[in-house]
Amino acid sequence: MTRASSRRPGPPTRTERGIPEATVARLPVYLRALTALSDSGIATASSEDLATAAGVNSAKLRKDLSYLGSYGTRGVGYDVEYLRYQIAREIGVTQDWAVVIVGIGNLGHALANYSGFGTRGFRIVALLDADPTLVGERIGEMEVRDFAELEDIVKADRVSIGVITTPAGPAQDVCDRLVAAGVTSILNFAPVVLSVPDGVDIRKVDLSIELQILAYHEQRKSGEAALPQVPELPALNGMPDLPSVGGGVGA
Amino acid sequence: MTRASSRRPGPPTRTERGIPEATVARLPVYLRALTALSDSGIATASSEDLATAAGVNSAKLRKDLSYLGSYGTRGVGYDVEYLRYQIAREIGVTQDWAVVIVGIGNLGHALANYSGFGTRGFRIVALLDADPTLVGERIGEMEVRDFAELEDIVKADRVSIGVITTPAGPAQDVCDRLVAAGVTSILNFAPVVLSVPDGVDIRKVDLSIELQILAYHEQRKSGEAALPQVPELPALNGMPDLPSVGGGVGA
DNA sequence: AGGAGCTTGTGAACGTGAGAACAAAATCGG
DNA sequence: CCGATTTTGTTCTCACGTTCACAAGCTCCT
């Protein structure tokens, strides 16, 4: 369960004409860098220029771009507008994707107001919440609608992307409803592991996990310089209470 | 520039007694799963149970845990409370980390109200904004303070983590100020590539990038089933305007 | 006490990603 | 028209991450 990658046992285990996942994750960064260059009136950029703007190394950038085709000119560089369009087309943001946001709490509010929803390519078609006291509230140019309308909205507007900004509790239920209604991509802000059937893509954004990763490295920094009394042995000292093993798995 | 990883040319290129980065990123997930199990009154769990709860495969979970030490019991599993404490200690969330949030727009508001700030281990000590009309506003139990107070606050409260929720424009300036004040870990929500000196860790959360990654896969799904007229050749058809290469790099 | 049955911890195989280095192709100057 | 220069696209190598498979170790039952 929870496998969302479609890996069929095809002939040579080759991803079907696919771009590596790590590259896909960087393409939006390149797209943004190209847009910035374009806005600055720059017409041509070398892989070195682009790499600097995108915060990566130039060899990696060139290899990434090579998966899309040969869009550069040796000795010259890349035409900014041309490459920008090619990447946008490859990602799929030359068309508009309909998005619903479920859960209009603080975060849902913030996302609903997010001007332009990042870059173009995405269109919020509905804000949904199950709380009757929220339904009807206006946020920007939209109105919060009842979660029960989900199915109608998804079908009417061909919604393929759902954003979950509910608390952890109802998130899996919301997710199931979204999938049942026909949504095939989900962006989850709720702090739970959601399980979805094969063929549905899911991505997670989790503030507290990010903070904890930072804390880990922060602790190392302090520990290295000042207080290296990290227990080297896998010892069991300083534990609140060391329970003896045993006690069934049931509740 | 923009390298935040401290890779010194030490003897065997071995990370200094370090846990692999991929593992570090999963430890918070395990921690959350363990907390959930603990709340359900479950005292012992096998790697299979834990892996299911965390949404990973059990071999990976066991290998991850093995970097921390041998905290399980063969034939039995892991003591939930014990393991939870060990992971919390390894991550560093047994102590409290002081956090400042800079940029009190929609998203800053949402984060400021985020109850408990995810899990324990983090304490918001200040909400900062440069806009004088925002300064003084109360959010929950806190009051927005002037960004100019940053240095004092960082020193007084030993702030090591900064969260940037400003627009893209001022983000790099804010980042520089944070670093200059002594912050050594940054969580960036602004859609720009920030560059920081060595020794400063930076993580990025970017809504529009996540959506674009979903869009890419979504496009593939549609294309596979219905309309496979993806141009197989690296052709240049359907382009808005195909510019001839040439035209200087300057503005 | 001893064997059967689980479950952990880890060694080895495999796949993916990153970076260095270089050949191929384009422009530019003479 | 040709060589020097620039920059891409690609190959090769190495490091990292994932998964399999199994020996080691613990508990429980007879």
Report pLDDT digits (tens) over B218-235.
Answer: 999 987 654 434 443 333
Q: Is the pLDDT of residue A234 over 80?
A: no
Which class would CATH give A97-207?
alpha beta
Distance from CA of B117 to the nearest CA of A (A): 7
pLDDT at position A15 is 37
* Strands laid side by side in the B185-188 sheet: B138-139, B142-146, B122-129, B97-102, B161-164, B185-188, B201-204
User: What's chain A's average pLDDT?
Assistant: 85
Q: Which of A92, A111, A191 sits opposite B32 (nearest CB)?
A: A191
Binned at pLDDT 50, 70 and 90, residue A17 comes out as low
pLDDT category of residue A225 using cuts at 50, 70 and 90? low
Task: For A58-99, write each residue's pLDDT tens digit.
Answer: 999 999 999 999 999 999 999 999 999 999 999 999 999 999
Q: Is the model's pLDDT at B1 over the cut of 60?
A: no
Query: Which residues are within 8 A (CB) of A138 and not within 5 positions of it... i.e. 6 or more apart?
Result: A144
Q: Is the pLDDT of residue A43 over 70?
A: yes
CB B137 within 8 A of CB B149: no
In order of A127, A242, B53, B57, B171, the CA distances from B48 in angstroms are 38, 23, 9, 8, 43
Separation between the CA of A128 and the C1’ of C15 (whole angstroms):
42
Region of poorest pLDDT, from B1-10, B104-113, B177-186 = B1-10
- In DSSP terms, B186 is beta-bridged to B162, B202
Reading the block at residue B162, the tokens are 């900064």
Give mean pLDDT, residues B170-184: 98
What's the pLDDT score for residue A18? 85
pLDDT band at A12 (very low <50, low <70, confident <90, very high): very low
The architecture in CATH of the region A21-90 reads Orthogonal Bundle (1.10)
Residues of A in contact with B105 (CB under 8 A): 110
Exposed e or buried b per residue across A62-95, where buried means at least 16 C-beta atoms within 10 angstroms of its C-beta? bebbeebeebbeeeebbbbbbbbbbbbbbbbbbe
**How would residue B243 be classed by pLDDT, with cut points 50, 70 and 90?**
very low
Q: Give yes or no for residue B244 having a pLDDT over 90.
A: no
Distance from CA of A27 to the nearest CA of B (A): 8
What average pLDDT does the structure give for chain B? 86
What pLDDT shows up at residue B224?
Answer: 60
The domain segmentation of chain A, as residue ranges, is 21-90, 97-207
For the stretch B24-62, pLDDT in tens is 999 999 999 999 999 999 999 999 999 999 999 999 999
Chain A contact for B55 (CB, 8 A cutoff)? yes
* Average of per-residue pLDDT across B190-218: 97
Q: Which residues 99-118 of B have a C-beta within 8 angstroms of A?
A: 99, 105-107, 109-111, 113-114, 117-118
Q: Is B103 annotated as a binding residue?
A: yes
pLDDT at A117: 67
Please, are residues B159 and B133 in contact by the beta-carbon 8 Å criterion?
A: no
Report residue B240's pLDDT band, with 50, 70 and 90 as the boundaries: very low
pLDDT at B5 over 50: no
CA distances, B156 to each of A102, B14, B152, B173 (Å): 40, 37, 6, 22
List, as ranges, residues 83-102 from B with C-beta within 8 Å of A.
85, 90-93, 97, 99
The pLDDT value recorded for residue B38 is 97
Q: Which residue of B has its CA nearest to A242?
A: B82
A132 contact to strand D (CB, 7 A limit):
no
Q: What integer pLDDT is reported at residue B31 of this predicted model?
A: 98
Say whether pLDDT at B100 is over 50: yes
Query: Residues 191-250, chain A: which have Cβ within 8 Å of B?
Result: 191, 193, 195, 199, 201, 203, 205-221, 234, 239-243, 245-250
- Nearest residue to D24, CA vs C1'? B74
Per-residue pLDDT reduced to its tens digit, A91-137: 999 999 999 999 999 999 999 998 656 568 999 999 999 999 999 99
Which chain B residue's Cα is nearest to A105? B110
B176-193: average pLDDT: 98
Residue A114 is predicted with a pLDDT of 82
Look at A90 and B209 and tell me if their CB atoms are within 8 Å.
no
Q: How confident is the model at residue B18 (pLDDT cuts 50, 70, 90)?
A: confident
3-state secondary structure of B167: coil
| The two structure tokens encoding residue B1 | 């520039």
Find the mean pLDDT for residues B154-160. 98
Lowest mean pLDDT among A57-66, A143-152, A178-187, B113-122: B113-122
Is residue A195 within 8 Å of B55, Cβ to Cβ? Answer: yes
In CATH, which of 3.40.630.30, 2.40.70.10, 3.40.50.970, 1.10.10.10 is domain B21-89?
A: 1.10.10.10
Mean pLDDT of A169-194: 98
A25 touches strand C (CB under 7 A): no
pLDDT at B117: 67
pLDDT bucket at B98, cuts 50 / 70 / 90: very high
Q: What is the DSSP letter of A42?
A: -
Q: B221–A2: do the CB atoms touch at under 8 Å?
A: no
Other beta carbons within 10 angstroms of residue B119's beta carbon come to: 18
The angle subtended at Cα A52 by Cα B193 and Cα B7, nearest 5°, is 80
Whether nucleic acid strand C comes within 7 Å of the CB of B44, the answer is no
Look at A52-61, A188-197, A221-230, B67-76 and tell me which has the smallest mean pLDDT: A221-230
Please report residues of B whose CB lies closer than 8 A to that of A84: none
A60 CB contact with strand D at below 7 Å: no
Angle at B197 between CA B195 and CA B199, to 5 degrees: 125
For residue A148, the distance in angstroms to the closest alpha carbon of chain B comes to 24
